[in-house]
Amino acid sequence: MLKYFDYISIVGTGFYVPDRIMTNFDLEKVVDTTDDWIRTRTGITERRIVKDSEATSDLAIKAGAIALKKAGITSKEIDLLIIATQSPDYPLPSTACVTQHRLGLTNAVCFDISAACSGSIYALIVAASLMKTCNYNTAMIIGTDVLSKSVDWSDRNTCVLFGDGAGAMVLKMNIKGRNLLSFDWGTDGSGVDLLKIPAGGSRSPILSSNLNQRQQYLKMDGKKVYKQATKMMYHSVIRALNHAKLQKSDIDFIIPHQANKRIIEAIAKKLALADDKVMINIENYGNTSAASIPIALDEAISQGKIKDGDIVVLTAFGAGLTWGSIVIKW
């Protein structure tokens, strides 16, 4: 376990969401649901949805460009690009290759990782570890997902939850402030069936029989996912704090994955955190999967919710089952 990343710092953030807004009232017209039902169970009021012509890399490129500008660096300074996504442009090549070319990151080695909603946490950990061991000076991670094209719009239990978006972070070595202190991550593959897209891979390729059974769309056991998410994220936060020799009372601000407001509130209660110490923006975007953490981080920064010297915790949970937490000294 790496407990300290030698002054690896987050020097720039940015996010992008599509222009199209789909409200709960819009959803009332296409599926058997109501605004009240969605808000009381999830905390979501609206979400952003891509145009038919937009893909995951289109969002990633826009978020990455904003993060580069905020970091004050050029595209050629990026040594490493990691894209976290579960909705790539193509089965191959990677969305990272598409993004690298179009964003002009000509000196960056790049690849995708798939850890579902935990993807940006995993990408941060991998990027920081490679920077520490492989002498990469500047890295970019982008969490980007277009799940509107993977949900069944006739299934009210899933289609109301997700939105499209991308969030980016730029990391640099040997900078004081906004430093990654410690992390925790984990996986429990026994839960693969709780949240999955059954068809489209080598086990079950897209066939007419799968299409008729709507197996190309996301399926979720919501009750079991809720139970696992609240438990795993809480314990992951505690372990990450322990690695940094900190207590839960040391947390100044937490940015949890925006999957469900009730999950966020349950974790905050376990950590004894006041409302003003918890980032919640799910009402505006829904669950943007791997984009959730970087979008929320960028908004928290722009809204002045994080101050210099704060202990900030990022934590997420996703399909796999996967989870992870990172402690940052701002």
Answer for the pair 151, 158: CB distance below 8 angstroms, yes or no. Answer: yes
Is residue 287 among the annotated active site residues?
A: yes
Residue of 24, 243, 257, 260 marked active site = 257
Cβ atoms 171, 138 nearer than 8 A: yes
* Contact (Cβ atoms closer than 8 angstroms) between residue 64 and residue 140: yes
Structure tokens at 315: 């934590």
Residue in the structure block whose two tokens are 């905050």: 268
Residue at 132: amino acid letter: K
Choose, from 117, 159, 243, 260, the residue flagged as catalytic: 117
> Is residue 140 within 8 Å of residue 130, measured between CB atoms?
no
Joined together, the tokens standing for residue 112 give: 């995708």
Comparing C-alpha atoms, which of 112, 171, 130 is closest to residue 297?
171
Contact between 141 and 168 under an 8 Å Cβ cutoff? The reply is yes
Q: Is 117 a catalytic residue?
A: yes
85, 112 in Cβ contact below 8 A? Answer: yes
- DSSP-derived pairing of the beta strands 138-145 and 165-172: antiparallel
Looking at 24, 97, 260, 287, which residue is catalytic? Answer: 287
Active site residues: 117, 257, 287
